[in-house]
Amino acid sequence: MQGSRILLIVGGGIAAYKACELVRLIRRAGASVRCVLTEGGAHFVTPMTLAALSEQQVHTSLWDLKDEAEMGHIQLSRQADLVVVCPATADLLARMAGGLADDLATTLLLATDKPVLAVPAMNVRMWLHAATRRNVARLREDGVTVLAPDEGAMACGEYGPGRLPEPTAILAAIEAALAPAPAGPLAGRHVLVTAGPTHEPIDPVRYIANRSSGKQGFAIAGALAALGARVSLVAGPVTLPTPPGVTRIDVETARQMAAAVEAALPADAAVMVAAVADWHVADATGQKIKKRADGVPPAIALAENPDILATLVRSARRPALVVGFAAETQDVIALATAKRVRKGCDWIVANDVSGDVMGGADNAIHLITEDGADSWPQLPKAEVATRLAARIAEAIA
């Protein structure tokens, strides 16, 4: 980021205070920041605060004669290397998607010829509303990078997806957006990858999970990025480092992963590596379940989780290539072949997990396509990823 120039548009939401920390992090990384503060944003942070942190003039109005004389808004929109909208409220996303230009922020966004990164933050119901989902999808189709929000407690008292990601995560997305696009057969292609397990809460301290380490999915995401793809990695709760050039969206539960996958579309290909829990606890409690005096364990009712792979295959925005994964302990090829037909995906990557594959360093897979099964020898997971990425490139490049 050294020497890069960031134009930061601060929208009107309670999360606007995090923009101040983001300015500090960007400057610490060696880039300069020029801030545009919307009318709504000015209700939460002041121009003086942003000016002091950025050591740059803060712009607030399209009609400021002095600003227009010194630096017109068209020039302002094009001098930056990257435009970041943080927080991007539901209203601001809607106006961006509609191509409005009725204030300084939206005029700059419409006039810029530079990449745009939007970081949403809003009430959970607003984020999940069909109108917001349409607007996010439209912006992504237009080439805007829209991060998925975090899930957590809201200032309004509700809980769910809609929280602004932490400034360190936003900085990582900015660094990825500024990184030179690698040349390769997948340049210009967007690939969605899921990885890791999901955790389904029983109570605040216990959960249902599986043994997936996420290593294979992360390796595949990195291999695809190395071939030039723009990769969105929806990751369950793992502690692996994000592969270079990959945009990472962290989730915990299967339902969160389903929402993140939908938000990441459209994509040219999807590689669904994650070991998603089949069920969640229907009556998860907000209090720790205590042991009973009589020693009888609690009854836990389970409800079925969304089938992310099948839903993606049926989606109107189905990627051209959908790759599923099948972890089996017996009759691997037969069960995976049946799964490919049942789910309707193009390929299934199957492996025998009766040993120490989950969490291990190696994998021996069978690539199931409509032409049959191609069995690979046991290889390091990084080599499996490289081979699979090459096959994907042949299919969609």
- Write the pLDDT tens digit of every residue in 106-146: 999 999 999 999 999 999 999 989 899 899 988 988 889 99
Question: Is the pLDDT confidence value at 285 over 90?
Answer: no
Q: Does the annotation flag 103 for ligand binding?
A: no
**104 and 187 within one domain:** no
- This prediction has a pTM of 0.65
Q: Residue 357: its pLDDT value, please?
A: 57
Task: Name the domain count of the chain.
Answer: 2
User: Could you tell me the pLDDT band of residue 358, with boundaries at 50, 70 and 90?
Assistant: low
**188 and 166 within one domain:** no
Least confident of 62-71, 349-358, 386-395: 62-71
Q: Does the annotation flag 50 for ligand binding?
A: no
**295 and 164 within one domain:** no
Domain housing 392: 183-397
**223 and 167 within one domain:** no
Domain boundary among 179, 198, 216: 179
**152 and 187 within one domain:** no
- Over residues 47-57, the pLDDT tens digits come to 999 999 999 99
The CATH number given to whatever domain includes residue 146 is 3.40.50.1950
Computed over every residue of the chain, the mean pLDDT equals: 91
More confident of the two residues 292 and 305: 305
Least confident of 45-49, 180-184, 236-240: 180-184
| Residue from 20, 35, 156, 345 carrying the catalytic annotation | 156
**153 and 194 within one domain:** no
Domain boundary among 179, 211, 229: 179
Q: Does the annotation flag 278 for ligand binding?
A: yes
Q: Does the annotation flag 343 for ligand binding?
A: yes
Q: What is the 3-state secondary structure (H, E, C) of the chain?
A: CCCCEEEEEECCCHHHHHHHHHHHHHHHCCCEEEEEECCCHHHCCCHHHHHHHHCCCCECCCCCHHHHHHCCHHHHHHHCCEEEEEEECHHHHHHHHHCCCCCHHHHHHHHCCCCEEEEECCCHHHHHCHHHHHHHHHHHHCCCEECCCEEEECCCCCEEEEECCCHHHHHHHHHHHHCCCCCCCCCCCEEEEEECECCEEEECCEEECCCCCCHHHHHHHHHHHHCCCEEEEEECCCCCCCCCCEEEEECCCHHHHHHHHHHHCCCCEEEECCECCCEEECCCCCCCCCCCCCCCCCCCCEEECCCHHHHHHHCCCCCCEEEEEEEECCCHHHHHHHHHHHHCCCEEEEEECCCCCCCCCEECEEEEECCEEEECCCEEHHHHHHHHHHHHHHHHC
**327 and 209 within one domain:** yes
**200 and 99 within one domain:** no
Domain boundary among 143, 160, 179: 179
**370 and 315 within one domain:** yes
Q: Does the annotation flag 114 for ligand binding?
A: no
156 is catalytic: yes
Q: Residue 148: its pLDDT value, please?
A: 84
Q: Residue 72: its pLDDT value, please?
A: 62
Q: Does the annotation flag 306 for ligand binding?
A: yes
